[in-house]
Amino acid sequence: MDFRTNLERSIALIGFTSVLLAASGIMPASGGEKVLFAFGGSDGALPAGALIAGKHGSMYGATESGGSSTRCSEGCGTIFEIAGDGREKVLYYFQGKSDGEGPSGSLFLDGSGNLYGTAAGGAGTNCSGIGCGVVFKLAPDKTESVLYTFQGGSDGLRPNGSLVADTSGDLYGLTIVGGNFNGSECEQAGCGTIFEVQPNGTKIPLYTFEGGGDGAYPSGGLVADGSGNFYGTTENGGGAACGGDGCGTVFKLTPNGTESVETVLYSFQGGTDGEVPMDGLIMDSAGNLYGTTARGGSIGAGTVFKVTPQGTETVLYSFKEGKDGGHPEAGLVMDGKGNLYGTTYYGGSHGCKKTGDGCGTVFKLTPDGQESKLYTFRDFHQADDRGVFPQASLLMGKKGLLYGTTTAGGVGNDGVVFSVKK
């Protein structure tokens, strides 16, 4: 199985220019998939991060590669808009220079129509010669501006996941590596950072992970509560389990300038409780946090979990790596009835001959722990446009539809935008 962590995928970008108990059974599948758009390389490839809602039924997203630039071997990435009828419009082509390269997370849309995001590379000669990443803004007139350029080292590198904004317009996010290179447990990479970028481009470092009990390699972005605290996950760290690297954490950050306080709410142990949370969290009205782990659980195929504000973890479902799916790499969305929806990267069937582990699923988990498979991705052929291997969280739309992306499949094998009925 070609199972990759966000850290491995992030470091691979250096080569560019180059809720509630486990369910006792599976309910019958329902709904169906519709491919809205299949990427073809020049219009983008490898869609990254969840789609976000725009005006009049449109959606926005980013692709890590593809586009028009020849500076990157497979294109430097794009920002795109998908209309309600499936028409795609490329809003921006990254050039891999000062503007950035490889946008790697979900976008954020403000009230004026500006889009914000991060790109994992570009903008400079540091970090193996391709730059350390940027925070960018795309105005409604398609003008891109870089708000901050990372310098590597203690400043952080490879910004990863989505951004979140406060009422002042300050942006908060993560770098999966960088930070404290001296004395950390992450060797020469650094264990990652949490940062704030103000509208004028001033960057404030909020926290540097040390790779021990506090966690290592934060991924997936942050979620905020009403008191100004932020919550997220790290893929590793948190203790001596999982070969001494730690199995990952759920953390809370209370900002206070450079003296922000980080608290680990839960450290995964790598058993039935889960291992390696690879995406961000969602929060309900009571302050409970929900997410997924790509490994661990009853047979090691990943979990859906809940963590209370006091740090108590409950496994809501353990994947069996069969028809129910396996190894979720994306986070969750929740409807008004408390049902959770997500994707698994593998599982669902025995298709996808290159891996033999299935092509992924879209699933639903009810509050009483019943998991149902809404859709199973299957082997694609050049004659059709089906997608495979979903890696990003879903977007909950109107009329009972969920929208998402796959990292592969489609007529060009560059990924697709799809919808599935709930």
pLDDT at 84: 80
- HSE (CB half, 13 Å, CA atoms) of 97? 7
pLDDT at 21: 26
pLDDT at 14: 33
- Tally of CB atoms within 10 A around 171: 23
pLDDT at 184: 64
- Percent helix, strand, coil in the chain (nearest 5)? 5, 45, 55
Residue 227 is assigned to a structural domain of this protein: yes
- The confidence band for 383, taking pLDDT boundaries of 50, 70 and 90, is low
pLDDT at residue 28 greater than cutoff 80 = no
pLDDT at 107: 96
Domain that holds residue 5: 1-11+51-273
Residue 148 is assigned to a structural domain of this protein: yes
Residue 180 is assigned to a structural domain of this protein: yes
Number of domains in the chain: 1
Q: What is the pLDDT of residues 180-207, one digit of tens each?
A: 776 567 877 899 999 999 999 999 999 9
Residue 195 is assigned to a structural domain of this protein: yes
Residue 374 is assigned to a structural domain of this protein: no
- The confidence band for 233, taking pLDDT boundaries of 50, 70 and 90, is very high
Compute the average pLDDT of residues 71-85. 91
pLDDT at 353: 63
Task: Tell me the three state secondary structure of residue 327.
Answer: coil
Which of 20-24, 144-148, 325-329 has the weakest average pLDDT? 20-24
State what percent of residues in the chain have pLDDT above 70: 89
Residue 116 is assigned to a structural domain of this protein: yes
Q: What is the pLDDT of residues 154-171, one digit of tens each?
A: 999 999 989 999 999 999
pLDDT at 349: 76
The CA–CA distances, whole Å, from 191 to 27, 278, 296, 388 equal 41, 15, 22, 31
Residue 352 is assigned to a structural domain of this protein: no
Residue 65 is assigned to a structural domain of this protein: yes
Residue 9 token pair? 């995928």
Compute the mean pLDDT over every residue in the chain, rounded to the nearest whole number: 88
- The confidence band for 350, taking pLDDT boundaries of 50, 70 and 90, is low
Q: Which residue has the higher pLDDT, 205 or 383?
A: 205
Residue among 4, 49, 19 at smallest CA distance from 341: 19
State what percent of residues in the chain have pLDDT above 90: 70
- The confidence band for 20, taking pLDDT boundaries of 50, 70 and 90, is very low
pLDDT at 381: 62
Q: What is the pLDDT of residues 247-270, one digit of tens each?
A: 999 999 998 877 899 999 999 999
- The confidence band for 6, taking pLDDT boundaries of 50, 70 and 90, is very low
pLDDT at residue 103 greater than cutoff 50 = yes
Q: Which residue has the higher pLDDT, 128 or 387?
A: 387
Q: What ranges in 100-197 are assigned the alpha helix state H?
A: none
Which CATH number does the domain housing residue 240 bear? 2.120.10.30
State the Cα angle at 291 between 297 and 404, rounded to 5°.
Answer: 110
Q: Which residue has the higher pLDDT, 353 or 341?
A: 341
Residues in contact with 121: Cβ distance below 8 Å, sequence separation at least 6, in sequence order: 13, 14, 16, 96, 100, 101, 102, 127, 130, 131, 132, 133, 158
pLDDT at 10: 40
- HSE (CB half, 13 Å, CA atoms) of 164? 20
